[in-house]
A and B are shown apart, each in its own frame.
Chain A
Amino acid sequence: MGKINKITLKEAAGLIKDGDMLSFSGFTIWRRPMALIYELVRQGKKDLHLFEVNGGTHTEVLAGAGCVKMWESCWVGHELYGKLGEAVARGQVEGSILVEDYSHAQCVARLLAGAYGLPFFPTALAMGTDILNPKFDMLGKAGLRDGSNPKIPLKKYDTIQDPMYDMGKMLLMPAANPNWALVYAQQVGDEGTVRVLAQTYVDLEVIKAADKVIVIAEEIVPDSYLRDDPAANIAPGYAIDYVIEQPYGAHPTGSQFFYDVDADFIRTFYQASKNADAYKKWADEWIFGVDGFDGYLEKLGANRLLKLKANSVMGYSTTVKRGTR
């Protein structure tokens, strides 16, 4: 019988050190570990190194608070509810955040290598782009590819001529093995088995690639329930180091079969993310001005959360007003 190591949001954030490399579950504005993101900001983390296949609202909350030193990814924004990643963009333009761009699938290749214990993974996707321009190897230009940081590869990428079937030139993408995977999953078993509902995004790969894994569970359920349908699970309990049970732990991002994206909340945050003063006001209200995540949920109010509640058959809210009609 396995067991889970249950901790609080405060304890979880306390485990993460300044300068650590993090990756996340989810996709843009879906299934992000928001409750833990807020706690990282509250605890004033610095110099974080984010590696993620794409960014979203969680990235911007961290970047706006000045927690991020390095961001390796390909995209950041809030989909329909905020078209740019303003805080990352500001950091890149001002030079306070070191940005290393890859393509989406190149980021996936880096995680695949990390997840499967390989030093690199080959791909032919997104060749012939400035992503590969040696002048734009930003971590290299900053002198960070000297091997002194074990989380930074010696090269941004390399090329190889296919030696097997003579397919021609290909790229080799270095493994990404973050210190931490911060994951939000709908269900975690009482022995730690993890299940996410609907699309799996890169959650399987993030969990396997990271040294340590913290999962925020919307609910903890009997492991036997998850083991009745093992094909629907994405990770065994022994791969999970810590579990936090936190209902609504992904808000304002969406969680299939539990709640929809809180579009109004993200729109308001997006406006605030456009300058440092407005961000500070927003964070004072929603992060520092509430008593932890419980205080945040109380401030949101039951009515607001009920409006986001997913239809139990469809998996998303069928009542929330999404457009103009």
Chain B
Amino acid sequence: MTAKNYAENYKGADLLAVAAAREVQDGDIVFAGTGLPMLAIALAQITNAPNAVCIYEAGSIDGRPKDLPASVGDARCATQSSVAAGLTEAFYGQLHNGYVDLAFLGGAEIDKYGNVNTTVVGDYAAPKKRFTGSGGNPDINSFARRTVFIMVQEKRRFKDKVDYITSPGWLIPDWPSGEMKPKKEVYGKFFNGGLSAVITNMAVFRFDEDGIMYLDTVHPGFTPEQVKDNCEFDLNISRCKGVTEKPTVEEIELLYKVVDREGIFLP
């Protein structure tokens, strides 16, 4: 085996896309959202996971875009798809039916159990600010076997308690009582899995047996303590296994010259 030729010059977003692509296992059925997730699945399909397929929630199933889509409803998603249908097929025919192995999602705030907020700042009944809203985030996160969140690392985003649980992590309210229970109990026989990793501009996080976030690797140039300082909750850094693998020269070249050759998400 030849040694990998690691890149020396790359941007934070490049590392995020590459680290996300490495989460894809060959043969995975992947549900991806707009932005970096599109780069990750496209890169994975031409590197480590040539047999992975992609579903976009607007209804394109196993598309083979010739040009990078700019959003999940883009005409480009449907090129060479096996089925170009709609949301009923994506959410019920594919997701609820249990086909989806992996999903890439994002969020504005997250807590140590992986509960994510993409809806409001402050009390929902009288919010200070509204974000875009849930979209398909909670649906996909609730039924995919593994989900990976791509987020910005900031203390105000890695919170003790998120203002609103848009998307379910590992310890969640069971309505209508609202009692906090493990996800497995709330979902019963519908349980498929859930959050497996969070990738930020500083680190990769995973979840322990109790569904609590811990530091897995730090990106080159950061220390575990710096990452801990950028979390409001008390981050477990004892399981950190080292530095995140850098992107290779080949991966960077593929990202800029093949996947996003027009410079849509990677200017």
B130 touches A89 (CB 8 A): yes
A167 touches B190 (CB 8 A): yes
Decide yes or no whether A199 CB sits under 8 A from chain B. yes
Residues of chain B contacted by A92 (CB below 8 angstroms): 127, 130
Q: Of B35, B74, B79, B95, which one neighbours A105 at CB under 8 angstroms?
A: B95
Decide yes or no whether B267 CB sits under 8 A from chain A. yes
Q: Of A84, A102, A166, A323, which one neighbours B132 at CB under 8 angstroms?
A: A84
B87 touches A125 (CB 8 A): no
A201 touches B86 (CB 8 A): yes
Decide yes or no whether B66 CB sits under 8 A from chain A. yes
Chain B's closest residue to A199 (CB) is B59
B173 touches A128 (CB 8 A): yes
Measured CA separation A203–B76 after assembly (Å): 19
Decide yes or no whether B208 CB sits under 8 A from chain A. no
CB distance from B155 to the nearest CB of A (A): 22
Q: Known interface pairs A92-B130, A202-B86. Does A324 touch B59 (Cβ–Cβ under 8 Å)?
A: no
Decide yes or no whether B188 CB sits under 8 A from chain A. yes
B79 touches A315 (CB 8 A): yes
Chain B's closest residue to A83 (CB) is B132
Residues of chain A contacted by B78 (CB below 8 angstroms): 198-199, 256, 315
Measured CA separation A136–B58 after assembly (Å): 27
Decide yes or no whether B158 CB sits under 8 A from chain A. no
- Which bracket fits the contact residues of B? 35 or more
Q: Which of A2-10, A71-79, A210-218, A237-245 contacts B (4 or more CB under 8 A)?
A: A71-79
Q: Of B74, B91, B119, which one neighbours A101 at CB under 8 angstroms?
A: B119
Q: Of A80, A104, A169, which one neighbours B70 at CB under 8 angstroms?
A: A80
Residues of chain B contacted by A314 (CB below 8 angstroms): 66-67, 75, 79
Measured CA separation A199–B73 after assembly (Å): 8
A75 touches B73 (CB 8 A): no
Measured CA separation A228–B176 after assembly (Å): 51
A128 touches B73 (CB 8 A): no
CB distance from A243 to the nearest CB of B (A): 21
A125 touches B95 (CB 8 A): yes
Sampled A-B contacts (15; CB under 8 Å)? A30-B73, A53-B87, A85-B133, A112-B88, A123-B92, A127-B172, A128-B142, A131-B166, A133-B175, A169-B186, A198-B75, A199-B77, A201-B86, A204-B86, A254-B75
